[in-house]
Structure 1
């Protein structure tokens, strides 16, 4: 089964896999909701999916929640994730799952078959580009748990933000100006290698910042 919101990617992946003996494409999806629906009514052995697909229904909270749901509902399904993400925290979480193979979309197409074939023999496959990225964890600023580059105030602001508090509420609780909270949050996002709030939520879930003990 294939899933990607870009038709040309689906076309290229399908054309590549259909050259392999014994491969049958049983379905295609272009969104998280359509993929879950398809999985529930169509048996398959392998899923090749994009990591980040727009979800008009809002059912997917972040980049990792779709993969988590699939792993929970179909634990025996072999999953190959094709991603453009360069966030080491998110990629590290995916790579740590022994049933999920992980490729960058910049990899040659023959790497996709290696990932599928390797998974059949019980070994998750990590593409070369992803492996190089994970070998240099300091590049994107998203570190291992409890080794975060955030100041105590930045960690506290991020924690309060992902718990659902507004910028104004955080400023009132910390006794500082809204501009201070906005600046500290922005600087924390730069350190964590994310550019928007959904990315921040994903990174927080990936590295466990909610358990980070503030030093202030």
Structure 2
């Protein structure tokens, strides 16, 4: 039996995921969390085999940071990132923090189940449509998104800025000093060739990292 922890800030999404997984057989949902902090607490209590982690939780700790902490807190746990976004650089950044799977919320139910079973066995899984898209981009020589130049930590800070988080919130969530956050902000601006946080938000919208421009 594969033990699953669901992490998503939308109750309806969790209900849908639970129904799909439990109907598949051989899978048990042992807990549900609506944010990163709750996910860490529940994972420590329930010791799941696999965690389905939403990347787009607006409040508190984001999915990338929660994944980074989770794989350290619960040795052996395997994380599959679940997101509405289908663009780089998330697969690379997630691999850096320890995730083994990457799916969009629009993937077929059967592929969700396949991903869970594959990752539970210790394999890695990227949604087939995304894997094909990346392969075709490599063959065509298409330029990758400029966000691919950011490190995993820089990406975390960048997405919190885009989400409208204040420096104090970023410091508290990521355990960083204000000076360090300022340094990351400058690196992000330099790597993306921008000068303001407003330009960062527009770039995130342009390259598909957020759905609606703020």
* TM superposition score normalised by structure 2: 0.63
CA gap of 1:98–1:30, structure 2 versus 1, over 3 A, is closer
Q: Look up the match of 1:24.
A: 28
Distance 1:33 1:92 in 2: 23
Which residue of the other structure, out of 13, 18, 22, is the alignment partner of 1:9?
A: 13
The 8 Å contact of residues 36 and 63 in structure 2, kept in 1 or not, is answered as no
Residue matched to 2:200: 189
SS of the equivalent of 1:122 reads coil
Question: Do the aligned residues in 2 keep the contact of 1:86 with 1:133 (CA within 8 Å)?
Answer: no
In the alignment, is residue 52 of structure 1 matched against residue 56 of structure 2?
yes
**Residues 54 and 63, structure 2, Cα contact 8 Å, conserved in 1:** no
Shift of 1:186: 5.9
The structure with more radius of gyration: 1
The structural deviation recorded for 1:5 is: 0.9
Residue correspondences, number: 164
1:82 maps to: 82
CA displacement at 1:105 relative to structure 2: 1.0
Q: Structure 1 or 2: larger strand share? A: 2
Contact 2:81–2:103 (8 Å) recurs in 1: yes
Q: Deviations over 1:51-91 (max 9, x none)?
A: 12133xx4x2x542111011111230121111113451232
Q: CA deviation at 1:92?
A: 1.5
Partners of 2:71 and 2:78 within 8 A in 1: no
**How much does 1:144 deviate?**
4.4
The offset of 1:16, in angstroms, is 0.5
Name the SS of the counterpart of 2:79 in structure 1.
strand
Tell whether the 8 Å contact from 2:88 to 2:145 is kept in structure 1 after alignment: yes
Q: Which runs of 5+ in 1 are unaligned?
A: 147-160, 171-182, 200-216
- Greater percentage in helix: 2
* Contact kept in structure 2, 1:64 and 1:90, CA below 8 Å: no
Which secondary structure does the structure 2 equivalent of 1:138 belong to?
A: coil
TM superposition score normalised by structure 1: 0.63
